[in-house]
Amino acid sequence: MPVLTPDSALSLGATWSQVRRSAHERAIAAPFPTIDEETWRYSRIGELDLATFAIAETPTTITGESSQVTVTRVPASSVSVDSSLADLFAQSTSTDLFNSLNLAHMDVVVVSVARGVVAPQPIVITHTVNGDGSVYFPRLVINAAENSEVTVVERFISNDSVRSLVVPVLDARAAQSARIRYLAINELGDKSWQIGEHDSVGERDSDTLLATVALGGDYARVSTAARLRGQGSNTRQVALYFAGGTQMHDFRTLQEHAAPRTTSDLLFKGAVQDTAKSVYTGLIKIHNNAKGSVAYQTNRNLTLSHGAWAESVPNLEIETNDVKCSHASTVGPIDEDQLFYLESRGVNPDVAQRLVVLGFFDEVLAQLPVGDLAAPLRQRVAQKLSIGDPS
């Protein structure tokens, strides 16, 4: 398979060779996932043929940089890299196939915020992937030092005519009392696949937000793990996803509490129409040393057409009694009472459905870390509703 050729993985500078070589070896050894594995249950992974894609360097633009935040970009073709960056990945031992492939072929952006610094404006990273038959491996590292704050928006864009595979990885690290706000926006075309991974670690009294808006792609999957490692740390995960046509959106989440008095809150809201599908499976895991922790998990799904399908599977794994946890999930059509209320006041049925769906998503839109993006994203959702076929 082209993505596993030794030449492409090892034609790099000496600084990176060991990191990439080790990841390449793990990728070769890793089995290709199947739907028999619980983490890939309900997915479309059996449709993916890696041999049909060729590796390409990720076309990336960055805005919002300032003198107070260090942004370092290292494309896969770079022949020399500062050793301090190589140290970020030297300890990685992930045996996951796609994480290993990303590490072997990654185009890296590192956002570093010094101690006590509050980034003055959001950093926006845009990946425009328009190489037909190409696979891309962008990797974003966010390092927020003690008592710092930063907001990062990462966008993935492609044309509908382009068949591509995007395998992104996020590595967010919040030191003591640091605050990270991250938003991923999937605007990929309807022939593109995305298999992504978001990982965050929060130290004592830190606060992280991992937000996702998924509107594009043929099959789009994001696995998110938010790990609370320091006492008093907090994390939120929010997502808005809307699939139409034959699209499928696939989310797997982990809220891991590994320290006392930690808090996590998750809210994922999705809608499916036509013959589209969505999957959500989530796990709250509270270790036996995480006394006094609080964790919430909520997943709500609207099915807007008879042929649409959504699956929601929340889970709890709790090793101590001194905690507060809850989980909730729903899958179903729009409440008929809401539609009747609007229609009885003269609202056209199609407009009434649109208003209800937009209102359903407003709770997530209000929590996105960049307020200026809420309006255009809401408009994108409205446009998607207008082309659906609520048969």
Tens of pLDDT, residue by residue over 16-58, are: 567 787 888 888 888 999 999 999 999 999 999 999 999 999 9
**Is 217 within 8 Å of 194 (Cβ atoms)?**
yes
**Rounded Cα distance, 164 and 223, in Å:** 19
Amino acid letter at 92? S
Tens of pLDDT, residue by residue over 188-199, are: 999 999 999 999
pLDDT (mean) for 131-143: 95
**Rounded Cα distance, 372 and 313, in Å:** 33
CA 249 to chain centre: 11
**Model pTM?**
0.93
Helix axes of 83-90 and 14-29: crossing angle, nearest 10 degrees: 20
Average pLDDT, the chain: 89
Confidence class of residue 339 from pLDDT cuts 50, 70 and 90? confident
DSSP string, 141-190: EEEE-TT-EEEEEEEEE--TT--EEE--EEEEEE-TT-EEEEEEEEE--T
Q: Residue 87 class from Cβ within 10 Å (0-12 exposed, 13-18 middle, 19+ buried)?
A: exposed
Domain range summary for the chain, segments of one domain joined by + = 2-335
Tens of pLDDT, residue by residue over 202-250, are: 999 999 999 999 999 999 999 999 999 999 999 999 999 999 999 999 9
Confidence class of residue 104 from pLDDT cuts 50, 70 and 90? confident
**Is 184 within 8 Å of 213 (Cβ atoms)?**
yes
**Is 261 within 8 Å of 232 (Cβ atoms)?**
yes
> In this model, does residue 122 exceed pLDDT 60?
yes
Phi, psi of 320, deg, nearest 5: -145, 155
